[in-house]
Structure 1
Amino acid sequence: MKKTFMGVRLRRLREERGMTQVALARALDLSASYLNQLEQNQRPLTVPVLLKINAVFGVDVQRFSDDDEARLITGLREVLADLPAGVGGEGAGEAVSLAEIRELAAGMPAVARTLLALHQRHRQALERLAALGNDRSGEGVLAPHPPMAYEEVRDFFFARQNHIAELDDAAERCAAEWGLLPGRADEALAQRLLVAHGVRVVDAADLPGQAQRVFQAEAGLLQLAAGLERGQRAFQMATQLAFLEQGAELQRLADSAGLSGDQARALARIGLANYFAGALVLPYTAFLRAAEAAHYDIDRLGHQFGVGFETVCHRLSTLQRPSARGVPFFFIRVDRAGNISKRQSATHFHFSKIGGTCPLWNVYEAFAQPGRIVPQVARMPDGRAYLWVARVVSRSGGGWGVPGKEFSVALGCDIRHAPQLVYSRGLHLANPEAAVPIGMGCKVCERDACPQRAFPPIGRALDVNENHSRFAPYPVAAPLAATHRS
């Protein structure tokens, strides 16, 4: 474990419980002078002390992890990049250095989160002003403009590190009680629907809007799209069982998430039901043991549990039970145009919120190699390195002329966890030169020499030099008169 200085967080823990230094030192069986050194960042917080804090106060040790610090650093850098010239960052007369950002994120995380929240409200206010300027009604009154529902739900899962313990535990109990077998869960789930709820499962050729599941409560009928594989059928039945048997818990979790409206809460219930379904088909303990035994070989796990590549990747990103953690993964699904339709993170990797992803990322290279898993060791501008694996998944439209779906699905982890993955074999994990330099996107990436840069970072002046062009956004046409003379 590297040296971790968490003095401010330790003081905050003490203040929250109304304890003096002497009282906290006594509770943790430490000397008062040693605790004072910890709080003043003169000594690093060690694993034994963390375990004592967990045992005495029941505090999750992730609260003292540097994963949260990395998320805050990335968010603060985006805030500074998004500020106009003259308001912080470059061009303001006093730039905020990366060292100062790190100090704020590490020492005062609550302040950092407050700044991020204020910036989000600032951007929402700008959007309302822009809408007001385009208002043609003459009333000049705009309703509040909350964040989009899917963004709220995404942030809810992100705040929980993509692990919903209540649903995971319930799903594991149900899987044991109902006798679900790996690769054959669909049989037991169909039986559960029929016996416990009087619901028959039938195949249907033409469901509306390319839906995969339609539930008719009054008729006691669950229609599944024809052509689904066994794992897909199991997932759809498990999702319906989540609504039938865990409805109250889904509602409680959605209501307690602090979401802004009914649409966001409804979307949260769907996301939570899908989470329960994945946990039911791939029970936590059995799946984690299988994943560790297979060194996280996604295809092997898919064959063992009868599910697809994307389902395995998504489930791997949720294995963060405090008593039995798997590798903390990030999961992403993107199309050819760069639209991110799914993104989940169990750790510090922070997906950019201000547009664009990096074309050097292997999630795009996977489209050129369909059917193959494409590994990549990638390094971010802050020096952190990651191992990513990506593969294209596709789904037929169901008939001639019907558009299908095609996505690149990627799973990534911090380089320190890479040796646990089968995909690290043969890769130069310790060689910095072997890593591909990528970024969060051109708007926030400071790699000036990147050959794929599309435009300069936000807030940075464009270097315009007739004799030495560092950046040309588009070819400059010849003057009209010169063209005429030629």
Structure 2
Amino acid sequence: MRKAFMGVRLKRLREERGLTQVALARALELSPSYLNQIEKNQRPLTVPILLKINSVFGVDVQLFSEDEEARLIADLKDVLADPGLGEHVALTEIREIAANMPAVGRAIVALQARSRQASERADAMASRFGLSAEEIEPATLMPYEKVRDYFYAHHNYIAELDEAAEALFDKAQLVIGDVATGLREYLRSEHGVDIVIVPATDTLSPQRRFNRARRTLELSANLNPGQQAFEMATQLAFLDIGDTLDRLAKDAADDSDETFRLARIGLANHFAGALVMPYTPFLEAAEALRYDIDLLGQRFGVGFETVCHRLSTLQRSESRGVPFFFVRVDRAGNISKRQSATDFHFSRVGGSCPLWNVYEAFSTPGRILTQLAQMPDGRTYLWVARTVSRGHGGFGAPVKTFAIGLGCDLSHANRLVYAKGLNLANSGVAVPIGVGCKVCERPNCPQRAFPPIGGRTAVDENERRFTPYPVA
């Protein structure tokens, strides 16, 4: 395992707390000379020292995580691949920024995101109204993008909501696998709200509607018990912990009313998932069942996608589950959900990799596919993918079909039932995938859709190769 040399981060923590090297060394029970060597990256941060930092300062050791560093490296590679910068930044330099100046790295990524969004909005508006891009005032991130980035920044885990949901599960004496019955009674006794099941007439019929005046919560008859429980739990979040939702949503809103309201919904949904699948029982079941998604769905009475989403949130500091990356994509390759508890990264430039098994899932509906996939940096992941479909009504009514992907680093793969039959020790069996064609550095991929940004394509009229856009 690579040693963790993170002296700059430790020095920054020390300076933020207003401590001298001598004072910090005394607090960590180290000699001043040893601490000085750590801050100069002459010695690594060991696990005992990290744990001591956590106990003394209450700092999450995730601050010093190699996963965090790898995640930032991937983001910086994406940003600095832009040929418009006029600079070729070597991977060595990127690693140096991520390891020693992570705040600078995050600022670079944030600035690029603002610039990219402004450019995309300007181009879209110019195309729509026949104007030049210069005539369009650049816009900030769209509200849903701000909310998405808020959850991404929090590793898809909001501790306050998760703990509140677990406490309410016990208070309401809910039963795993039949949460709907208990929630129905709790809503009636604590909030005077009655549940009304309403037949769905068309695709515009809401799945959940709260009538505040009548104190009724209308649920669509199309919802199964697990979905009904989730909708009841979502509404309960607004009723039971509205002040908490308001406070957390303000962190994501950036003074935007629409973003604030979307954030409240996202946070309420987060609470609902934690209430239907309370953290400790769910994590214990996941470990006991080796993260078998179908068996977890049967035990907790919820669907495949809901289980996968919940698995991506098990990052409580004192009892972490497998750190998963969760995505939901459609047939056109649009990623409508992207939640990460780990550092796996796909580019926001030019789409995702066509060799990824999430897209193959559409050719075998309802069947679980597994894949060992290796990124260009050598990191290998185990991916599980399957399609899910949802209808709304009877014959002829539209059906939504998505592919759900759940992945984790190879180091955790042996904890999953899906590793059965896979040769985890042989990296040669992994499918080589990339972060998206425009920023993928693989030179000989036959599935490449675009030439790589910043690379020069070999153009020879006397030669044709099997690999499209060969790199010079």
Question: So what's the TM-score if we normalise by structure 1?
Answer: 0.92
AA in 1 matched with 2:275:
L
Asked if 1:374 corresponds to 2:373, the answer is no
SS of match in other structure, 1:439: coil
Greater shift in the superposed pair: 122-131 or 460-469: 122-131
2:97 aligns to what?
104
Mapped contact 2:122–2:138 kept (Cα < 8 A): no
Please state how far the C-alpha of 1:37 moved relative to its aligned partner. Answer: 1.0
2:5 is matched with 5
Change (3 A) 1:201 1:353: same
Is 2:201 aligned against 1:193? no
Contact 2:253 2:259 (C-alpha < 8 Å) held by counterparts: no
User: How many residue pairs get matched?
Assistant: 465
| Contact 1:334–1:342 (Cα < 8 Å) also in 2 | yes
Tell me which residue corresponds to 1:477. none
Cα distance, 1:132 vs. partner?
8.3
Alignment-derived partner of residue 244 in structure 2: 249
- Which 5+ residue runs of structure 2 have no aligned equivalent? none
1:179 aligned to 173, 186, 189, which one?
Answer: 173
> Is the alpha carbon distance of 1:112 and 1:370 closer, same or farther for their aligned partners in structure 2, counting shifts above 3 Å?
same
Q: Normalising by structure 2, what TM-score?
A: 0.94
1:117 aligns with 2:116: no
Residues 133 and 426 (structure 1), Cα distance of their counterparts in 2 relative to 1, 3 Å cut: closer
Q: Which amino acid aligns with 2:441?
A: E
Greater mean deviation of Cα atoms: 153-162 or 1-10:
1-10
Cα deviation per residue 1:385-441 (whole Å; 9 max; x = unaligned)?
A: 101101111112311111101111111101100111111111111211110011111
* Deviation digits for residues 82-136 of structure 1 (CA, Å, limit 9, x no counterpart): 232x611xxxxxx221111111111111111121122223324534664786777
- Displacement of 1:206 in angstroms is 2.4
Structure 2: distance between partners of 1:405 and 1:124: 28
Q: CA deviation at 1:443?
A: 1.0
Percent identity reads 62
SS in 2 for 1:411: strand
In the alignment, which of 197, 200, 224 is matched to residue 203 of structure 1?
197
TM-aligned CA distance change 1:293 to 1:215, over 3 Å: same
Partners in 2 of 1:41 and 1:320 — Cα distance? 29
Q: Partner residue of 1:324?
A: 319
Query: Matched residues in 1 for 2:374 and 2:394: separation?
Result: 42
Structure-to-structure mapping, 1:249-398, within 5 angstroms:
249-257=244-252, 259-398=254-393
1:46 aligns with 46
Secondary structure of residue in 1 paired with 2:112: helix
Deviates more, 1:206-215 or 1:388-397: 206-215
- Give the Cα separation in 2 of the matches to 1:423 and 1:309: 15
| Residue matched to 2:70 | 70
Distance change in 2, residues 1:459/1:246 (3 Å): same
The structural deviation recorded for 1:448 is 1.7
Q: SS of the residue aligned with 2:451? A: coil
Give the SS at the match of 1:219. coil
Contact 1:333 1:342 in 2 (8 A): yes
Residue of structure 2 in register with 1:91 after alignment: none
Report the Cα distance in structure 2 between the residues aligned to 1:407 and 1:132, rounded to whole angstroms.
29
Q: Is the 8 A contact 1:81 1:443 kept in 2?
A: no
Q: 1:382 to 1:124 in 2, by over 3 A?
A: same
| Paired residue secondary structure (1:45) | coil
- What letter is aligned with 1:26? R
For residue 209 of structure 1, give the secondary structure of its aligned residue in structure 2: coil
CA contact (8 A) 2:166 2:275 kept: yes
Aligned residue runs from structure 1 range 424-435, under 5 A: 424-435=419-430
* Partners of 2:121 and 2:379 in 1: CA distance: 37
Amino acid at match of 2:86: V
CA deviation after TM superposition for structure 1 residue 313, in Å = 0.5
Aligned to 2:21: 21
Question: Residues of 1 paired with 2:188 and 2:120: CA distance?
Answer: 50
Q: Which has the larger radius of gyration?
A: 1
Report Cα offsets for 1:132-169 as digits up to 9, x if no partner: 8677799x875551111111111100111111011001
Describe the shift of the 1:137–1:58 C-alpha distance in structure 2 as closer, same or farther (beyond 3 A).
same
Partner of 1:462: helix, strand, or coil? Answer: coil
Q: Which moved more, 1:415-424 or 1:143-152?
A: 143-152
Distance 2:280 2:89 in 1: 46
Partner SS for 2:377 = coil
Q: Is the contact between residue 132 and residue 141 of structure 1 (CA under 8 Å) also seen in structure 2?
A: no
Q: 1:211 to 1:416 in 2, by over 3 A?
A: same
Which piece of structure 1 moves more, 254-263 or 312-321? 254-263
Say if 2:219 is the partner of 1:220. no
Write the deviation string for residues 324-344 of structure 1: whole angstroms up to 9, x where unpaired. 111111111111111111110
Q: 2:222 touches 2:392 (CA, 8 Å); kept in 1? A: no
Question: CA offset at residue 275 of structure 1?
Answer: 0.4
Specify the code of the residue in structure 1 equivalent to 2:272.
Answer: A
Structure 1 residue 2: deviation in Å?
Answer: 3.8
Matched residue type, 1:395 = R
For 1:192 and 1:21, the matched residues in 2 are separated by: 54
Q: 1:167/1:111 Cα in 2 relative to 1: closer, same or farther (>3 Å)?
A: same
User: Residue 5 of structure 1: CA displacement?
Assistant: 0.5
Task: Indicate the residue corresponding to 1:481 in structure 2.
Answer: none
Give the letter for the 2:47 counterpart: V
Give 1:197 shift: 1.7
CA distance in 1, matches of 2:104, 2:421: 43
AA matched with 2:222: G
Structure 1 unaligned segments of length 5 or more: list them: 89-94, 474-486
